[in-house]
Structure 1
C-alpha cells in the first residue's frame, strides 16, 4: 500500500487561483476576509500551501504586524480534507517561518479556538494588538462588532 504525503511549501504565483477559490469559499461563509487575485499576487510570498498528490488542499499566510509580532491569516483547508492534521502542519510551517525571521510572537484572530489551543496558542484580549487594530481592523466590515477571538503563541 502506498502512503500519501502532504507537502507544505511556500506558495508560488501558479497557486493564486487555487488560493483565491479556497479563501473565497471561507469568505462566502463569513468566517474569513476575502482576498482578490491581485492582492494574492502581491502577497504570495507570505503564503504557504498544503499539497496532496499535486492538489492544493490548504493554505495559510504569515503577515508581519510589528518588530516582534506576526499574524496567521487566511488559514483554511478544503472541506473534504479537514480532520487530517493538515491545518496543524500548515501552522507548524508558519511557526518555523516566524522563527527563521526571529519573530517572538505569533497571533491569529479566529473562530477555531480549540484548534489553535491544540497547537500551543492561548486566548488573549485582542486589544493587546494595536498593530492589528490600526492596520487591518479599521478596514474590516465587522470592526464595530468583531466576534473573532485573539490567540497568541510566544515562540
Structure 2
C-alpha cells in the first residue's frame, strides 16, 4: 500500500459512524475510552481522519487542556492498515494544529510508547499534567489503577 494515497483531513459530521466503529473496536479491548456517537458529533471539529479510497482507516483528536498543553486522544488505525505510517501522518497533522494554536506542549496517555517515541515524544510522569488528572482521569474507570504511560513532546 502506498501511504501517499492516504489523505489526512479534518473530520466532518458524515464521518461519525465510521469514527464510532473504529474507536469502538479499541474500546472493547479496553485500550481506548469509548465515545458515543453523540459525543463524537459534538466534538467532530477536534478530529482528523486518515482516508483511503473513501474509507476512514485512522483517526485522532486534539483536546486543549490548558494554555500551553494539548492532548492527542482517540488515535487509532484499522487493524489491516497498521505499520504503514498512517498513525505518524495523523500525529504530524495534530502537531501542526497545536503549533497553529501556539501551544508549546503536546501529550498523550498511551500503551504504544515506542510509536510515540519514534514520533519525538518522551515518557513523563502523569502527575505533571494536573489539567488531565483532575478532569478526564477523575471519571475514568481505570483511575485507581491506570496502566497507561504519559508521553510528551515540546513543540517550541
Give yes or no for TM over 0.5: yes
Mapping 1:4-153, distance limit 5 Å = 5-153=5-153
Alpha-carbon separation, structure 2, partners of 1:86 and 1:143: 30
Displacement after TM superposition at 1:147 (Å): 0.2
Unaligned runs of 5+ in 1: none
Alpha-carbon separation, structure 2, partners of 1:39 and 1:69: 22
Asked if the contact 2:3–2:84 (Cα under 8 Å) also holds between the matched residues in 1, the reply is: no
Runs of 4+ deviating beyond 4 Å: none
Displacement after TM superposition at 1:16 (Å): 0.3
TM value normalised by structure 2: 0.97
Unaligned runs of 5+ in 2: none
Asked if the contact 2:108–2:151 (Cα under 8 Å) also holds between the matched residues in 1, the reply is: yes
Counterpart secondary structure, 1:152: strand
The number of residue pairs the alignment matches comes to: 154
Aligned Cα RMSD in Å? Answer: 1.1
Asked if the contact 1:4–1:53 (Cα under 8 Å) also holds between the matched residues in 2, the reply is: no
Asked if the contact 2:24–2:35 (Cα under 8 Å) also holds between the matched residues in 1, the reply is: yes
Displacement after TM superposition at 1:4 (Å): 5.7
